Structure formats: structure tokens, C-alpha cells
């Protein structure tokens, strides 16, 4: 499976697809899906989810919305969950998204568990998991939009929701991804 070289190449492709006049009853999503399958060797199901996300709204400004979403979301994002008990048990989980402008990504989830007894004994355990692949933002404008991620190892596509929490600057510092809070690193 191949990918667009970067978000600018995807922007040009979406602009061409959304400006095309379709007289034969074909939708923009179908055109995008067929191009992904034919030219980038996407599996059928991944191509459909990708196309539904990327050109789902096919507005006149779809390509610009897509590029804006890609620029704002690219970077390193960190989310955390942490809990402790009075008995000395602590559990922490970090969630890390690395979303690159070349439309590749890595996702890591790291667990840390520790116990410290009042008598001096300690124990801890660490583990992690994750996956990597391709991503692309939707052409949806506004505070909330979707991204598609494709796990390369499993060849599975998934739609994810992003919502900006910090809208004051040109580059938001915080967001929610699938309902979990993240901060830009």
C-alpha cells in the first residue's frame, strides 16, 4: 500500500476530485476510492473508509479545509490517565500520537504500575503497545472533524474524532481525540 507524499499532494488530489463534474451518477467518494485502489494499492475496505473521511463533504473549499486540519493536527500529542490509592498503588497510562505531515503516524500506549508499601518494599511494571500507518484528515470545517487511520500491519482503517479544546491561536495546543484529552508536545 502506497500513500500521498504529503498533505499538499492529498490537497491537490482532493481539489481535482471535488472540482470534477460527475455526470454518470458516480459520487466523489467513489472516484476517490477507485483512485486509491488503482494507483495506491489500497485494499477495498480501507479505500472506502479513507475516501468517506477525506471527501465526505466535497464542498468547494474541501481541499483547503483538509489542508488546514492536517497542518493544525500534525505534531506530537500526549494524553494521560493516572490513579493512586492510599495503600501505595499507582497506575499511569500515557497515550501518544505522532501525526506527520507526510501523512504517516505512530500511536503508542504505555502503562506504568507501581506499588510502594509503608514497610519499604517496592515493585513496578511497565508495558507498551501501539501501531503505525497512514492517516488523513477529513474535509470537514470547524471545531470538530474526523481523521482516518490505517494500521499498516493489519490493513485496517478506522475513523477517529478530533475536537479542538484550544481555539485561540492558529496552532491549537490541546484537543480531544476519540474523547480523550491531549496536549501538544
Identify whether 1 is part of a domain.
no
Q: Are residues 97 and 149 in the same domain?
A: no
Contacts of 150 (CB under 8 A, 6+ apart): 1, 46, 49, 50, 133, 134, 135, 156, 157, 158
Q: Are residues 137 and 53 in the same domain?
A: yes
Identify whether 172 is part of a domain.
yes
Q: Are residues 19 and 72 in the same domain?
A: yes
Q: Are residues 34 and 50 in the same domain?
A: yes
Asked whether the predicted pLDDT for residue 81 surpasses 90, the reply is yes
Identify whether 2 is part of a domain.
no
Cα–Cα distance list, 157 to 21, 132, 152, 170 (Å): 28, 12, 9, 29
Share of the chain above pLDDT 90, in %: 76
* Number of folded domains that form the chain: 2
Asked if residues 108 and 80 have their Cβ atoms less than 8 Å apart, the reply is no
**pLDDT tens sequence across 37-49:** 999 999 999 999 9
pTM: 0.89
Q: Which domain holds residue 90?
A: 78-128
Q: State the pLDDT at residue 41.
A: 96
Amino acid at each position: 500500500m502506497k500513500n500521498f507524499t504529503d498533505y499538499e499532494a492529498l490537497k491537490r488530489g482532493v481539489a481535482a476530485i471535488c472540482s470534477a463534474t460527475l455526470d454518470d451518477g458516480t459520487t466523489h467518494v467513489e472516484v476517490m476510492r477507485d483512485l486509491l485502489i488503482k494507483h495506491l494499492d489500497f485494499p477495498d475496505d480501507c479505500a472506502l473508509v479513507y475516501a468517506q473521511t477525506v471527501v465526505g463533504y466535497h464542498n468547494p473549499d474541501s481541499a483547503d479545509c483538509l489542508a488546514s486540519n492536517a497542518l493544525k493536527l500534525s505534531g506530537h500529542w500526549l494524553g494521560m490517565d493516572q490513579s493512586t490509592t492510599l495503600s501505595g498503588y499507582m497506575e499511569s497510562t500515557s497515550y501518544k500520537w505522532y501525526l506527520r505531515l507526510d501523512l504517516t503516524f505512530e500511536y503508542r500506549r504505555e502503562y506504568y504500575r507501581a506499588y510502594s508499601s509503608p514497610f519499604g518494599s517496592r515493585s513496578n511494571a511497565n508495558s507498551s503497545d501501539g501501531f503505525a500507518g497512514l492517516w488523513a484528515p477529513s474535509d470537514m470545517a470547524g471545531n470538530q472533524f474526523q481523521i482516518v487511520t490505517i494500521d499498516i500491519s493489519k490493513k485496517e482503517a478506522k475513523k477517529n474524532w478530533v475536537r479542538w479544546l484550544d481555539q485561540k491561536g492558529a496552532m491549537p495546543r490541546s484537543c480531544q481525540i476519540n474523547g480523550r484529552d491531549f496536549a501538544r508536545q
